[in-house]
Every structure is written in structure tokens, then in C-alpha cells.
Amino acid sequence: ESAPASNFIRTLIQDDLAEGRHDHVVTRFPPEPNGYLHIGHAKSIVVNFGMAEQFGGDCTLRFDDTNPEKESQEYIEAIKRDVTWLGYEWKGPVRYASDYFERLYEYAEELIRGGHAYVCSLDPETAAQYRGTLTQAGTDSPYRDRSVEENLDLFRSMRAGEFAEGEHVLRAKIDMASPNMNMRDPILYRIRYLTHHQTGDKWCIYPMYDFTHPLSDAEEGVTHSLCTLEFEDHRPLYDWVLEHVTPPCRPRQTEFARLNVNYTITSKRKLMRLVDEGHVDAWNDPRMPTLSGMRRRGFTPTSIRQFCDMVGVNKTGGTVDLGMLEHAIRDDLNRNAPRAMCVLRPVKLILTNYPEGQSETLTTAVHPQDESMGTREVTWTREMYIDAEDFVEVPPNKKWKRLSKGNAVRLRGGYVITCNDFVADDEGNVTEIHAEYDPATLGVNPEGYKPKGVIHWVSAETAVDLELRLYDRLFGVENPGTDKERDFVEDLNPDNLVVLTGCKGEANLASPRTDIPYQFEREGYFFYDPEASSEDRIVMNRTVTLRDSWAK
Ligand code: ATP
Ligand code: MG
Ligand code: MG
């Protein structure tokens, strides 16, 4: 991998180090465990872990678990797996914002004692009215001037479970007239009687994200808190919290643009709907832009990291072409995928001059441009399969590079054959092709005639049956969900999955590699799917086609 390109965050960290503001970089990746990670999160992972890596620093993994009703252990496990799979190691143990609940509570009391927070007892509707609008200042809560003693007493009673949900909240005392709505006495704590996946029933008050996040960062010694642009107008609150208590250090928040990819979506909430409503099979359905779906489809960690590097880090959002992601995986697989032959629409080919019952083993490269990947063996027999699309009775034009009656082609890695006859059914579908092979043509050109082209094939006698799942874009429109008149599920591409059964793969595919997709010659990249396969069925997912349509 090449040296990382410069970007404004890299420059900012360089300056901080050069000017002695920090001597060790600490970042964090803070997912909320309320869904699976998607390609957008990959960018955040690559930015946070990548920056730490480039500067010899550390990156922590912290679950932002302040909304227990939407969170679960399943998501926690999936997220850890995905970060590890991308090739990153977090510093120290996995953290949870909930690890800091006791510390956060102490910070909250510190705010109260400093006169910077109060218990507010407005009902939610009234509180919303008091908040004002973008064009109109808010109104101070009548509870804003409660004494420190009263606030401490109420807050402790909130913790002790003496009130119902919604009865009181703890709010920061900032400025109800601030043009930034986030600064209008934001809620710091609310009462929720919920069993938390980490802390059980220990707490019935839960801190809000804007209070939790800066203090969790500080507790972990984070120097650079890198997040997406929607947090830009939360930054004043991030700083306010750190300024009004005594944290162990002063992290700094910097925002960059979210990653969006066309023909797909990067929103956990919408992805969850696709799963819940059965538009896809699961979070790791190979059509999903989740890291687990992409992994199952055959994307490699290298390709995803490469893609994120290509996208870069900047302040202006925008949508990236899906072709760029496909380019990144093709680039990796073209270099590293082992080759194999597989016939997707098999038709029988009989070599009439090859003796029945005889066979020979041909040795061919695993990768034509990389000798270090070694060789593989394929079997030559009298009965073969070739692709129905590789044969016509009469060539449609002079450019036809495949088989036709009376003409010759080479079977890749094998001999040259000449077709002399074929059998068709009542509808005109070719059911059997007859040809003669030329025994003098293994690895050498024939004398006196020229084959039209090279096609792939498998021995009918040793072939393995495969089910191939051909995926296309998840959505049929470039920017799904942007038309307010339509529900985004209406934008799904109805042809995003085509299943082909009875495909014929070379015998080596009987126990396919599980670490990397294959390039099926002339067809595309395919990855074994252990989850969909069973004892008597091998299922492979098409990662991507061979053709690269992405224009740089
Ligand atoms: P979603 O809207 O899909 O629920 P989120 O931002 O709520 O996403 P989190 O679990 O909070 O999801 O995300 C963890 C980190 O990943 C955050 O710092 C967030 O900024 C970042 N992130 C999420 N989506 C993207 C994206 N599309 N591009 C870049 N970073 C992202
Ligand atoms: Mg979030
Ligand atoms: Mg979210």
C-alpha cells in the first residue's frame, strides 16, 4: 500500500505534534451498538485507526451505549468482528461509555455544584415549546434557578429511582437565546427504567450523548476526536462540557464529511428496515453495504481500506460512485485471486475422437501473471461442458471469437477443438456439441489453421455442481431515498439477485478456498459462501464482474 495522502486532519495532527501540543496521538472509534457497521463506518474506522497508526499513536474502540433500548450484545460482537477483520487493533480493552457512568455521574454533580446544571421538571411538551425555534429565542425554564442543594437532592433522588420516567431531567445551564439550538440548556440526563446490556439494572438515569462523549474521550486520553460533520454544531457543547468540569485532559473534536455511495444507503436505521421487512435475508446479506455483507460477498479488507484512501478525508460531502468501490476490489482480486474455470450455462461438448473412459491431467497456472501462486490440475476427458453462449451454428459476424460449426477454438489450457456437428431440441436449443480435438496442439499452435479464440470449459466427468448468486446494485436509482414522495424501499433494484443453479465448476472447487474469491475465467470473481452452502450444495457469491466501468 502506498503512503497515505495528505488531508486536513493529518496536517492538523502534524501541526499539533510539531508545536508540542501533544507528543502522543490518541483517537477512538465510537460506534453505537444499535446495528451492523456499514461502508460509511469503514471510512471512520480508517480515519481514526489510520491516523493513530500513521503517527505511532493509539486508537480505542468504545461502544457509545447510552441508548440501551436500541442496543444489543449481538451488535457489539458483530462490530468487534468487523473492526478486527478490517485489520485494526484497538488499544487496551474494549471500552463502553457505560464504563464511565459512575465518573459521569460525579462530573454531573460537579456541574451542579458549580451552578452549571439544574434539574428541570417541565413536561416534555412544555420543554419543547420553551426551547424556541431557529428564528426565535427560547424561554428560561421556571426551574432554572433552583439552588445547588435542591438540585443535588433532586438529582440524587433521580438516581435512587424515586421518580417516574419523564418527571425530571438534568439540564446544562447555558443560554436559552443561543442561535445554536444545542446550547439552549441541553438535557444531560434522563430517567429511563431499562435493563442495560452492560450495567443491568444498576442505573435508572442515563447520560445523553453530548455529555457522555467529550468526557469519555477525556477519560481515555483522546487527543483528537474525529467525527462526521453532523456533529459540527455540537462542538460548542463538547467544549462547554470539558470547560465546566475538571477532566484529565482536553480532547479536541474535528469533523469530516460522511461517506455516501450511490445505488446504496449508509444509514443503520434504513438498513435495519431492509432486514426487518425481508427485502434482504439478513444484515450480512451479500447485497448489503454492511461490512459483514461485503465480507460474505468477497470484498477484502485491503480493498475497503484502499477505497477509503481513494475517497480521502475532506469537509465537503458528496456521493461517491459505487464503481470506485468495485474498482478497488477488482484491483486487489485481479492481482491476488486464484483462477478457476466454471461454466455458468453448461452445454455438453463431446470430443468424438477422444477415447471413452480415458482421461489426462493438464497442469495450468493458478494465476497467469504470478508464478508464485503455483499450478493447478484440470482433467481432460471425452465429455466436457462449455457455456451455451460460447457456441452458435453460424457466426453472427467476422468478430465472433467463440465456437461455431466448422470452426476451431482452443479450450483454455488444453487442446484446440473443431466443431463438426451439434444436436438441438425442438425449440432450437443446442443440447450437445460434437467436436474433434487436435492432439498436436497442447501448448502449441496448430499447423495450417487458426483457432477463432479461447474459451473456458470443464470436464463433465469431474465437474462439481455449483449454485452461483449473481448480485447487482441493491438499489435501482442513483440516490435512493432522496425523493420525499416515495418510500426508499420502492427504489430497490428488483434484479439485485439472480440465482443460477447447475453451474459446472472444475473439480478443484469441490473444496473451495475460504480466504479469497476466485476469478472464474471470463466470468467474474466468486466467493464461497459457507453460510448458504451445505453438505450437498456449494454456493458461491459473485463479488464483482470482470469489467471495470469506473472512469478515473
Ligand atoms: P447511522 O446514521 O448509520 O446510524 P451513526 O453515525 O449513528 O450512523 P455510529 O454508530 O454512531 O453511527 O457511528 C460510529 C462512528 O462512525 C461515528 O463517529 C460516525 O460519525 C461514523 N460514521 C457513521 N456513518 C458514517 C459515514 N457514512 N461516513 C463516515 N463516518 C460515519
Ligand atoms: Mg452516533
Ligand atoms: Mg445513528
At residue 5, the pLDDT reads 72
Task: Please tell me if the CB atom of residue 97 comes closer than 6 angstroms to any atom of ligand 1.
Answer: no
Q: How far is Cα 167 from Cα 208, in angstroms, rounded to an integer?
A: 16
Q: How far is Cα 352 from Cα 363, in angstroms, rounded to an integer?
A: 23
Task: Please tell me if the CB atom of residue 67 comes closer than 6 angstroms to any atom of ligand 1.
Answer: no
Nearest CA, atom 16, ligand 1? 41
The angle, 0 to 180 degrees and rounded to 10, between the axes of the packed helices 209-219 and 101-113 is 110
Task: Please tell me if the CB atom of residue 301 comes closer than 6 angstroms to any atom of ligand 1.
Answer: no
Burial label, 324 (beta-carbon count in 10 A; 0-12, 13-18, 19+): middle
Partners of 466 in beta bridges: 503, 538
**The amino acid at 126:** T
Task: Please tell me if the CB atom of residue 473 comes closer than 6 angstroms to any atom of ligand 1.
Answer: no
Domains, the chain: 8-256 (3.40.50.620), 268-338+466-544 (1.10.1160.10), 342-456 (2.40.240.10)
As residues whose CB is below 5 A from the ion ligand 2, the structure lists 32
433 neighbors 386 (Cβ within 8 angstroms): yes
Partners of 224 in beta bridges: 252
C-alpha cell at 535: 453438505
At residue 552, the pLDDT reads 46
Q: Please list the pLDDT of the chain residue by residue as tens digits (552 residues).
A: 456 678 999 999 999 999 999 999 999 999 999 999 999 999 999 999 999 999 999 999 999 999 999 999 999 999 999 999 999 999 999 999 999 999 999 999 999 999 999 999 999 999 999 999 999 999 999 999 999 999 999 999 999 999 999 999 999 999 999 999 999 999 999 999 999 999 999 999 999 999 999 999 999 999 999 999 999 999 999 999 999 999 999 999 999 999 999 999 999 999 999 999 999 999 999 999 999 999 999 999 999 999 999 999 999 878 999 999 999 999 999 999 999 999 999 999 999 999 999 999 999 999 999 999 999 999 999 999 999 999 999 999 989 999 999 999 999 999 999 999 999 999 999 999 999 999 999 999 999 999 999 999 999 999 999 999 999 999 999 999 998 999 999 999 999 999 999 999 999 999 999 999 999 999 999 999 999 999 999 999 999 999 866 554
531 neighbors 283 (Cβ within 8 angstroms): no
Structure letter (DSSP) for residue 512: -
Nearest CA, atom 29, ligand 1? 258
Q: How far is Cα 132 from Cα 122, in angstroms, rounded to an integer?
A: 14
ipTM of the complex: 0.96
User: If we measure between CA atoms, which residue out of 211, 252, 255, 204 comes closest to residue 233?
Assistant: 255
**Size of the chain, expressed as the number of residues it contains:** 552
Burial label, 110 (beta-carbon count in 10 A; 0-12, 13-18, 19+): middle
Q: How far is Cα 306 from Cα 129, in angstroms, rounded to an integer?
A: 48
The angle, 0 to 180 degrees and rounded to 10, between the axes of the packed helices 148-159 and 101-113 is 160
118 phi and psi, to 5 degrees? -145, 155
475 phi and psi, to 5 degrees? -110, 150
Which are the catalytic amino acids?
32, 258, 268
9 phi and psi, to 5 degrees? -75, -40
122: left (phi over 0), alpha (psi -120 to 50) or beta: beta
Taking the CA of residue 37 as reference, the ligand 1 atom at the shortest distance is 10
